[in-house]
Amino acid sequence: MTIAAPAAEKLTLPTRRSPLMTFWLRFRRNKVAMVALAFILFEVVIAILAPWIAPYDPTYQDYTATWEPSSRKHWFGTDDLGRDVLSRLMIGARVSISVGVLAQLAQLIIGLPIGAITGLRGGWFDFVFMRLVDILSSVPTVLFYMLMVIVLGRGFINIILAMSITGWIGIARLVRGQVLSLKATDYVRAAQGMGANTSHVIRYHLIRNALTPVTVSVTLGVPGSMMAEAGLSFLGLGITPPMTSWGQMMGLYQAYIQSAWHLTVFPALVLSLTMLAWIQLGDGLRNALDPTIRI
């Protein structure tokens, strides 16, 4: 009598998650960051569709409805020219959000390669760079922005250019520090020993491994750029009419805050909530990208 051998049990190996999937699973556990992301995406959609979904033409002047407070017809009231404040806030989101994002992208494009090259080469090149950074860092940021806008002139492009001239310093320092710690690793030394040039080492071995802190830095820098634009527009050195931004709206009517508070409070509230959302998003990205942090 022969006894049949037991059937071999099938071994199920655990599926390995991709880094992107792991990041998303960690990120979505952070409810505050998810709410912040949803709020930012909502504002971006509103800004893109503003010309079509705004309740009124933001440039239309109705002199029979000036200085009106919040009402069923005008949720956020009207200004001194009878323009709907809610419609102007929706259009102004285009400028305020665009300045914050584009300024950070410009700073990233400048600071990322400079910091990587400086940290990799070291020596006298690194010494000269750090002394230049120290000199630029000693200039007050807001004062420098004001001087650059006065020299270049007001306008959307000039504001981004003024923020980019010195704004790259923080990203360059961050990338330099990451590269200084990464260039001593075995895989970087192996790549250099095999004849890889500086460009290859920077692109495929250094920048990729330094992107985590850079991504968080850029995300947290967006509200700072938005606040800088709001400050310049508040002082009359920012966006030129007929374009509008949240900072410009606050600056135009800050003298009437007691008699027409809605013209200043609503733009300030929207700007504050947007900055808070970007900060919470940056914190969520930092926690999700850092495996040592438990969330």
| Residues ≥6 apart with Cβ < 8 Å to 34 | 27, 28, 284
> Which of 137-151, 199-213, 250-264, 271-285 is predicted with the least confidence, judged by mean pLDDT?
199-213
Q: Express each pLDDT in 7-40 by its tens digit.
A: 545 555 555 667 778 888 888 899 999 999 999 9
Q: pTM of this prediction?
A: 0.84
pLDDT at 15: 59
First-last CA distance in the chain: 60
Render pLDDT for 147-195 as a digit per residue (tens, 0 to 9): 888 888 888 898 999 898 888 888 988 888 888 887 777 777 777 777 7
Beta bridge partners of 84: 78
Distance CA 67, CA 124 (A): 62
Q: What is the pLDDT of residues 86-102, one digit of tens each?
A: 999 999 999 999 999 99
The CATH number of the domain covering residues in 30-55+83-289: 1.10.3720.10
Distance separating alpha carbons of residues 45 and 48, to the nearest angstrom: 5
Angle between helices 246-253 and 85-121 (to 10 degrees): 120
